Structure 1
Amino acid sequence: MRHKLEYPNQGVCGKYKKRVDVVIFMHSQLVKVNLSGKRVFVHHGGSAYREKHKKLNKIFNPIVKRSIIQTADLLGLGAKNEVWLLPGIDTESIKPVYERHEKVIIGHFPSKARIKNSKAINKVISRLKGDFEYIYSPEGVTWEKQMERMSKCDVYIDGCMPKINKRRYGEWGMAALEAAALGKVVISHFLSQDKYKGKCGIKVANSPAEIESHLKALLALTDEELLKEKQATRAW
């Protein structure tokens, strides 16, 4: 099964399915494979599990040993033997882009504008004063095109939505990590920061006012200072 974002090197595991001892179903998607004698796990993350966790738990709980939960807002929704594990990024394949522009470029490319609270983010931008360019697009594109448009930014805003349908949300996703790997300063909500061990490389903004505060501070930096911020995000 191929992902809608057309990630590179996907769909290659099928030829190994008879040889493996461990099977991990990603993105809450069940695919047909012989599980006899194998240790089975499932990865739950994103809107699919957030919106359909009861149905997905009925499918996966009887067959898995553990459930890997991507973001802390999805903990406690009934997955079997759940463990919180933030996703990783291949920093060998995603290289930083530190290109200097005439103006600071701020980008926001939400997978779902409502869930990322793009309306509020755009309002913040409309009030912001300074020498910058804002690029916004809610258009769904392939992974490669997403990397291309994020690479042109200096600052990337992931999202700012503490709750969805009265349920806790406020967690950054893969786009935030990919932007960080590209060497962009990332601003995003992160309600689970208190559970995170170590220093977080993301500029945490759990409200529009905090987004505005971060942006004002970033726009006041010199070129050298902004570059150091970008390098620190990449190092994280």
Structure 2
Amino acid sequence: MSPILTGRRAAAVALTALLVPLAACGSGEDKPAADASASASAPASAEPKAANLTVLAASSLTDVFKTAGAAYEKAHPGTKVTFSFAGSQELAAQVKQGAPADALVTADTKTMDGLTAETGTPAIIAKNRLVIAAGKGNPFKIDELKDLADTKLKVVLAAPEVPVGRYSKEILDKQAVTVKPVSQEPNVRAVLSKVELGEADAGLVYKTDSAKSGDKVVSVDIPDEQNAVASYPAATLKGSKNTEAAAAFVTWLSSPEAQKILQDAGFQKA
């Protein structure tokens, strides 16, 4: 072999030896750049999976939650929200008995506080106040709480274990007004129904419920200093099979969209 060819071959070998480590370094630098790009394109948070949610809710939320549920389903395609309405004490009993549900909203904090073993951390989503619901046209000219003490009146109240019944007792006791109700009902809607049907002359209900009755009843406001504030806490249920979707719904109830729906219905800001 000629000395010239031998020299050329040696030079080629030396050049190859130099380029191999450089190529390896280039490959190593490209890899982190690709990883960074992939990380940047990943979404910050994922939308909860669509689910069929069952929400146990206080009777006084019946109308507004139908509107809220429809709005939530529209914003979360594939998710279905089904409500079960009853007095808060009935809902608490259902939870303790293991009723299949995903979230709970009561009309008082006391009921929710008794369910800490079954619920997540609650959040107040709305507030409400009581009014006197007088019969159509208010024929007995009921103007204030003390008028309910008139023995000629048929007054209906919610049972004392029901939040609105407990609030009613609180404000009547505060004003030293003694009322002997003709019946004690299991929820606020039942109280209102008695007055609407003329089976009672007056009752104590939430302002939002009375407002839905139109001219069937006359709402008599109770001064703030004589009134009680009802707080509505919402929480997920630990027995839920849709924990992420349930948490998303409970969080949404405090969102501007949900708060507008609640306040348009007469509920006060939480």
- What's the TM-score, normalizing by structure 1? 0.35
Look at both structures and tell me which one has the larger radius of gyration over its CA atoms.
2
1 or 2, which has the higher helix percentage? 2
- What's the TM-score, normalizing by structure 2? 0.32
